[in-house]
Amino acid sequence: MKKRNTLTTGIACLWMLAMHIHPAAAQSGTATKEKTAFQTSGAWKPATDVRADVAIVYGVNDNRRAPFEQRVQSWRDRGYITHFMTGIAWGQYQDYFTGRWDGQRHLDEGQVTARGDTIWHGRMVPYIVPSKNFLTYMKERHVKRVIDAGIDAIYMEEPEFWMRAGYSDAFRREWQDYYGFPWRPQHESPENTYLSHKLKYYLYYRALEDVFTYAKAYGQSKGMNVRCYVPTHSLVNYSSWRIVSPEASLASLSCVDGYIAQVWTGTSREPTYFNGLKKERVFESAFLEYGSMESMTRPTGRKMFFLTDPIEDWPRDWVDYKKNYQATFAAQLLYPMIDNYEVMPWPDRIYEGLYKTSAESDTKERIPRFYSTQMQVMINTLNDMPLSDNRINGSHGIGVLMSNSLMFQQFPTHAGYDDPQFSNFYGQTLPLLKRGIPVSIVHIENTGYPDTWNGLKVLVISYANMKPMKPEYHDHIAQWVRNGGVLLYCGQDIDPYQTVMEWWNTGERTYPVPSAHLFETLGLDAAPATGEYACGKGKVYVLRDEPKTFVLQPANDARYFATVQKAFETAPNAGSLELKNHLYLERGPYVIASVLDESVSDDPLLLRGLYIDLFDPELPVLQTKTVAPGEQAFLYDVNHVDKTKPAVLCGASRVYDITESRRSYTFTAKSPANTTNVLRVYLPQPPIHVHVTDSAGAEITAVHSWDALSHTSLLQFENSPEGIRVVIEY
């Protein structure tokens, strides 16, 4: 994430602490699961004892308070599985840039703009052109030390090359090696831009393949199975923020075991256009970002962690953080095929940072108790969040095609053609999502996997903002259409990247634009007009409109939506397209709902049942819940409870050491210091006595109340990472 880690820079020397390091075999042998995680650059302390399964220790650099191995051990001593993360495009690598590592300075390997400015991530921390020499440094100086410390899971985060970069001597050398001809300034032509971004894409693909292949081989030499993950922003965000990264192509590498989807308020609040209005649409953007990440690994089976952040990089206020955290949190839960989560990054910043109390106030404070309580309730549900075969309510089977090449033509602008706020993508997706249709994302790179096509009825394609990087993608798409799929192609094929040097116009192929090859593969004319066409058992619809026009202009998406609706309703076994203003999903006992504004109606969603409100730090029991447009709800359905057994249903702590007898229920609650706990405990009978003690056995103050309707006890007391023991007799 675009975040500064807190490791001290300018370390005068590195020192190793002689201490016992748990071998990875012992670590994984005691681990029952790695479902939830958080990343931290610090050692364990009471205020940041998050109680996820995994502590991802950030950076090998020793700081004044604790060397790397001691930081790792501090988390292990508290029962955490330990993983490792560092940046692949930036990080505390001053020893490399200043020459302390190999005797040569390497500041010339930073990413440089056309003005000759280095793009910095921090003081003496440039964004990197990942040369082979730098990769050798990463392997020898960082990866080896991590594996020697017994860590068997490595995360190389954010393989990022800025679109505005590409002018350094280091990049020019890579260009010559890759293309075999001298470097060309990317601003001079669309083809130069496309080739420049394609090289940036390749450099970080090569970097991760090289570093991860080494990590696995070195780990194997020590009897370890090292797993390698890529924490990365979504393709939606990188394209919007004008950053190039390998994204979906990494899922096909045998050395890549999975990803962390780095989606949070900071990425999802990037303004978008809809109905001619540019504004933040945090929930909708988050839903599409998570969808693009889920699509990357859907057919490959790689592990995917979804990330949310209770705050964000930009200093704002606690009210803003809370509202947008709820929006992104609800969006991630609407993907029931994902059940692994990074529950937060940088807990030191979240629990101990100072932020404004409101947008109108200059007063700053640490996280308010009501918010830390709510946040801990939410992240503790993730430890329990089940996979589910349930789906969001509404019509499924409409997908929008994406490609990594979305990142190749967002910057700079050529020939007067622009794509404001990534509107060619949002023009295909927001008109559907805003009508309550859970539109899915399809990665063109995954079209060769049969699972990619499961359940898909309509596929929307445009080459206005991306290009197919291989001709065989069209073979896969055409086969799906002939078998009964319905394709909708949107676009005039007028952007200046249509004629860049690529497979469709080189060698024996002389197609003027890539869609000509697609249509020929479908058995159609090379440039069909707007209309409807038969193709085997399926159909092809063509709209000769640039998708961005559907959202840049007010009330201009009607024809697009009508075509999608017709395509859907004429697809085999599809039925009528359901329009509504909300998304709703049940995952086990959990209910997630989001009501959309700018939709088919302004009606609130009224839910009836017996619920615990998980977005309310008081955990009230409700029989009705009203969700207004622009808001989300997260509820626990008490009717799912096994009525014969006591159980902690939800709370602002993680629960351990549960024991029960015929008339008593006992457990230990652990959570960070300086926070307030609230729990709802289901009991078959009303409680007779509630006894709460700290880790030393001393009785502590606790507030208790009984709700007869839900048969739950509400408990409130101060948290402790050492554990609070609760004994309930009933």
- The strand ranges marked E within 308-454 are 340-345, 355-356, 364-365, 398-402, 440-443
Same domain? 437 vs 338: no
Same domain? 426 vs 558: yes
**Is 288:429 a contact under the CB 8 Å cutoff?**
yes
User: Which of 667, 647, 649 has its CA nearest to residue 658?
Assistant: 667
- Average pLDDT over the chain reads 94
Edge-to-edge strands, sheet with 398-402 = 440-443, 398-402, 458-461, 486-490, 538-543, 531-535
User: Which of 619, 608, 362, 401 has its CA nearest to residue 491?
Assistant: 401
Percent of the chain with pLDDT over 90: 93
Instruction: Tell me the mean pLDDT in the region 74-95.
Output: 97
**The domain that contains 535 carries what CATH number?**
3.40.50
On whether residue 78 sits in a domain, the answer given is: yes
Same domain? 589 vs 712: no
Going by pLDDT thresholds of 50, 70 and 90, the confidence category of residue 698 is: very high
Peptide bond into 412 cis (omega under 30): yes
Instruction: Tell me the mean pLDDT in the region 238-260.
Output: 94
**Any residues with CB less than 8 A from the CB of 545 and at least 6 apart, and which?**
490, 491, 492, 559, 560
Same domain? 169 vs 259: yes
Same domain? 216 vs 293: yes
**Is 151:72 a contact under the CB 8 Å cutoff?**
yes
The DSSP secondary-structure symbol of 256 reads: -
Token reading at 29: 């042998």
Token reading at 398: 């409409």
Residue 39 has pLDDT above 50, yes or no: yes
**Is 86:39 a contact under the CB 8 Å cutoff?**
no
SS3 186: helix
On whether residue 5 sits in a domain, the answer given is: no
Model confidence over 492-525: pLDDT tens digits?
A: 999 999 999 999 999 999 999 999 999 999 999 9
Same domain? 360 vs 298: yes
**The domain that contains 653 carries what CATH number?**
2.60.420
Same domain? 353 vs 266: yes
Model confidence over 123-153: pLDDT tens digits?
A: 889 999 999 999 999 999 999 999 999 999 9
Residue 215 has pLDDT above 50, yes or no: yes
**Is 535:523 a contact under the CB 8 Å cutoff?**
yes
Q: How far apart are CA 408 and CA 425, in angstroms?
A: 14
Residue after which a domain boundary falls, among 382, 409, 424 = 382
Instruction: Tell me the mean pLDDT in the region 691-702.
Output: 96
Same domain? 612 vs 717: no
Q: What is the dihedral of CA 273, 278, 282, 283, to 10 degrees?
A: -50
Q: Which residue has the tokens 């649409």?
A: 281
Instruction: Tell me the mean pLDDT in the region 268-286.
Output: 98
- Largest Cα span, the chain: 84
Same domain? 154 vs 281: yes
The DSSP secondary-structure symbol of 108 reads: G
Paired sense of beta strands 724-729 and 272-274, if any? unpaired
Q: How far apart are CA 725 and CA 552, in angstroms?
A: 58
On whether residue 14 sits in a domain, the answer given is: no
Same domain? 464 vs 365: no
39-65 in b/e form (b: 16+ CB < 10 A) is bbbbbbbeebbbbbbbbbbbbbbbbee
Paired sense of beta strands 689-693 and 724-729, if any? antiparallel
Instruction: Note down the domain range covering 671.
Output: 647-729
Question: Rounded to two decimals, what is the model's pTM?
Answer: 0.95
118-130 in b/e form (b: 16+ CB < 10 A) is ebebeeebbbbbb
**Predicted pLDDT at 123:** 84
On whether residue 327 sits in a domain, the answer given is: yes
Residue type, 696: A
**Any residues with CB less than 8 A from the CB of 589 and at least 6 apart, and which?**
636, 637, 638, 640, 641, 649
Q: Which helix (H) or strand (E) holds 240?
A: helix 235-241
Going by pLDDT thresholds of 50, 70 and 90, the confidence category of residue 248 is: confident
Residue after which a domain boundary falls, among 322, 355, 382 = 382
Model confidence over 589-598: pLDDT tens digits?
A: 999 999 999 9
Is 16 or 533 the better-scoring residue by pLDDT? Answer: 533
Residue after which a domain boundary falls, among 351, 382, 413 = 382
Q: Which helix (H) or strand (E) holds 551?
A: helix 549-552
Residue 26 has pLDDT above 90, yes or no: no
Q: How far apart are CA 544 and CA 494, in angstroms?
A: 10
Instruction: Tell me the mean pLDDT in the region 632-660.
Output: 97
Q: How far apart are CA 370 and CA 452, in angstroms?
A: 43
Structurally, the chain folds into a number of domains equal to: 4
Going by pLDDT thresholds of 50, 70 and 90, the confidence category of residue 187 is: very high
**Predicted pLDDT at 32:** 55
Token reading at 439: 């539109």
**Predicted pLDDT at 1:** 53
